[in-house]
């Protein structure tokens, strides 16, 4: 794997372990108290089962998440917008090759990755999304451009990539996304399917979709999600991540949400919008809305996954009905809490290192 981590990140990851016991973080089950002021950013690296994942890989994901939220934190601390913070954080995760997004995307049944992404501004309800991309290194950036430079919300496939070219984005060969780990996963899934001689799709036990929700110092919410979708998906299959209201949603009146899990359930249940609209119309807490949708409605339908959700007061909910959902949370106090690689994993809290140059 060609992933290269900066010395800083490695140091920060080491610090994470030594500091874990010194800064107990009280964020059990995702419940958190609103800060009186300030800003918040929460990132997820996919819901699923981390039990079979090699410990080194879990560690690398933690280090990558730390590096990613540091990029977002730097923007928010300098009074930047939640939109900029969401995009910057996701770009780092897309580039890492460690998640099911950007360079680490899962492959379709034909053995090439196809990526989806969306971003939404809670202040204006503007949104941009892209789907079925094969040649764009940072789908989240293209989603942002769709939002800002076109009259549309969603562009897909060739049309989206033509638009990318018109914006000066270089289209890369699908080989750019070659990743030994994903190639192995693809081959294993294919042979498992052949052995079963079944038309049924191989269960997707691990999700590595990435998503971020943020609240900036001006009180504006934003959400973004980026993914390679599910293992062995059909070419042309689009998941929930780029569907506004399903996998991604933000509204200053209620909340910002990014989901991860088997997207078909998120689309049928318009999960992200449902959580926010429960807050808006039923006046329930964010925690209750998110729990009711993820831990009751999705569970009743056997829909696996989780969400990260954030309201304008800085309250966070991050329920998941899988064995794990890795998250990183940072507030203005600059302590990043990494957690979720198992249900019982104790959060690791690491002080932020501000990125000097971006």
Interaction site with ligand ASP (CB under 6 A):
46, 100, 207, 209, 227, 229-230, 239-241, 247, 260-263
Q: Which is nearer to ligand ASP, 100 or 182 (CB)?
A: 100
Q: Which helix (H) or strand (E) holds 158?
A: helix 157-166
CA dist., res. 97 & res. 104, Å (int)? 4
89, 108, 137, 209: which is the annotated catalytic residue? 209
CB of 46 to ligand ASP, least distance (A): 5
Q: Which is nearer to ligand ASP, 62 or 207 (CB)?
A: 207
CB of 41 to ligand ASP, least distance (A): 19
CA dist., res. 355 & res. 267, Å (int)? 36
Q: Measuring CA to CA, how many Å separate 124 from each of 36, 70, 120, 147, 249? A: 24, 26, 9, 11, 12
Q: Which helix (H) or strand (E) holds 187?
A: helix 180-196
CA dist., res. 111 & res. 106, Å (int)? 9
Both tokens of 1, joined, read 């794997």
Q: Which helix (H) or strand (E) holds 65?
A: helix 55-77
CB of 84 to ligand ASP, least distance (A): 24
CA dist., res. 170 & res. 177, Å (int)? 14
Both tokens of 250, joined, read 């933000």
Q: What is the dihedral of CA 122, 303, 325, 183, to 10 degrees?
A: -110
CB of 328 to ligand ASP, least distance (A): 16
Q: Which is nearer to ligand ASP, 122 or 247 (CB)?
A: 247
Q: Look up tokens 């995009």; give the residue.
A: 87
Q: Which is nearer to ligand ASP, 100 or 277 (CB)?
A: 100
CB of 223 to ligand ASP, least distance (A): 14
Active site residue 327: no
Q: Which is nearer to ligand ASP, 39 or 106 (CB)?
A: 106
Backbone φ, ψ for residue 246 (5° rounding): -95, -65
Active site positions, annotated: 209
């Amino acid at each position: 794997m060609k992933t290269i981590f900066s010395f800083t990140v490695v140091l920060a990851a080491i610090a994470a372990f030594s500091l874990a016991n010194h800064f107990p973080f009280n964020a059990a089950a995702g419940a958190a108290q609103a800060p009186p002021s300030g800003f918040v950013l929460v990132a997820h690296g996919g819901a699923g089962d981390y039990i079979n994942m090699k410990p080194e890989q879990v560690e690398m994901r933690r280090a990558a998440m730390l590096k990613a939220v540091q990029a977002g934190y730097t923007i928010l601390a300098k009074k930047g917008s939640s939109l900029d913070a969401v995009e910057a954080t996701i770009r780092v995760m897309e580039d890492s090759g460690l998640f099911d997004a950007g360079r680490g995307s899962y492959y379709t049944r034909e053995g090439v990755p196809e990526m989806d992404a969306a971003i939404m501004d809670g202040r204006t309800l503007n949104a941009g999304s892209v789907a079925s991309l094969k040649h764009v290194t940072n789908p989240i950036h293209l989603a942002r451009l769709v939002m800002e430079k076109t009259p549309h919300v969603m562009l897909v496939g060739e049309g989206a990539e033509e638009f990318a070219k018109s914006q000066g984005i270089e289209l890369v060969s699908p080989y750019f996304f070659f990743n030994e780990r994903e190639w192995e996963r693809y081959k294993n899934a294919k042979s498992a399917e052949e052995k079963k001689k079944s038309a049924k799709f191989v269960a997707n036990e691990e999700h590595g979709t990435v998503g971020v929700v943020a609240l900036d110092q001006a009180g504006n919410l934003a959400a973004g999600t980026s993914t390679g979708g599910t293992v062995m998906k059909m070419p042309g299959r689009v998941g929930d991540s780029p569907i506004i209201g399903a996998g991604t949603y933000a509204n200053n009146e209620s909340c910002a949400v990014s989901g991860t899990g088997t997207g078909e359930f998120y689309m049928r249940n318009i999960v992200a919008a449902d959580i926010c609209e429960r807050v808006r119309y039923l006046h329930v807490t964010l925690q209750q809305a998110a729990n009711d949708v993820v831990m009751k409605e999705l569970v009743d339908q056997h829909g696996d996954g989780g969400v990260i959700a954030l309201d304008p007061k800085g309250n966070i909910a991050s329920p998941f009905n899988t064995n794990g959902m890795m998250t990183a949370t940072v507030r203005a106090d600059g302590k990043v809490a990494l957690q979720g690689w198992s249900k019982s994993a104790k959060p690791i809290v690491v002080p932020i290192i501000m990125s000097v140059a971006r």
